[in-house]
Amino acid sequence: MPYTVGPVLPAGTLSSVPQPVVPTGDGLLLRPWRLDDAPAVHDAFQDPAMHQWHIRAADSVEEVAGWIRQWCAAWEEERSVQWAVVDADADALLGRVALRSILLDEGVAEVAYWTTRAARGRGVAARATVALARWALDEVGFHRLELHHATANEASCRVAGKAGFTFEGTRRSACLHPDGWHDMHVHARVQGD
């Protein structure tokens, strides 16, 4: 049975070109991960704040190197896109932004981010998320980007608002964290926002 609409983005939209470096225009770069980022990512995951909102722990630099290999391979598989957020001048790691759960046929993906302890309070997550959304919606042609965070994570809610993601509602008891089930806010940006 034929479909009545074609894919929003055809297979190969991402993998047919190298993963780009995306400048924010204000001193940050989103760049592909490198294996030499593993020690900095491992250090970031030693921060107790990371354990509050992330279900993953980093036990060793070698383990994190494995994550980075997976993140790099995911571009070719078009299932997620992960960037290191770095200072444009010093190349110091400040955080990560990503498109997860990519559905090219539907033109939909989920935005995720985290920042290092040193980068918090400097607008890094919001600035990187704005650049990511601009690239995904305007350059690539995604139709909708979703952003989910625990309702108790007020900082993440502020990032979503600053990055232009409209609050759409609450998913009850939708994500299991180390301290139990959390309700999740849903925010989104669509083409034309």
Write the DSSP assignment of 30-73 as a string of letters: EE---GGGHHHHHHHTTSHHHHHH-S-----HHHHHHHHHHHHH
pTM assigned to the model: 0.94
Write down the pLDDT at residue 52.
Answer: 82
- 20-71 residue pLDDT tens: 999 999 999 999 999 999 999 999 999 988 888 887 889 999 999 999 999 9
Residue 156 contacts residue 33 (beta carbons within 8 Å) = no
Q: What share of the chain is helix, strand, coil (3-state, %, to 5)?
A: 30, 30, 35
Write down the pLDDT at residue 4.
Answer: 83
Q: Compute the average pLDDT of residues 68-84.
A: 96
| Residue 3, token pair as written in the block | 């479909």
1 has a pLDDT exceeding 70: no
Q: How confident is the model at residue 17 (pLDDT cuts 50, 70, 90)?
A: very high
Residue located via tokens 């964290």: 177
Write the CB contacts of 168 (distance below 8 Å, at least 6 apart in sequence): 186, 187, 188
**What CA–CA distance (Å, rounded) separates 35 from 186?**
33
Write down the pLDDT at residue 104.
Answer: 97
Q: Compute the average pLDDT of residues 133-145.
A: 98
Across the chain, mean pLDDT equals: 95
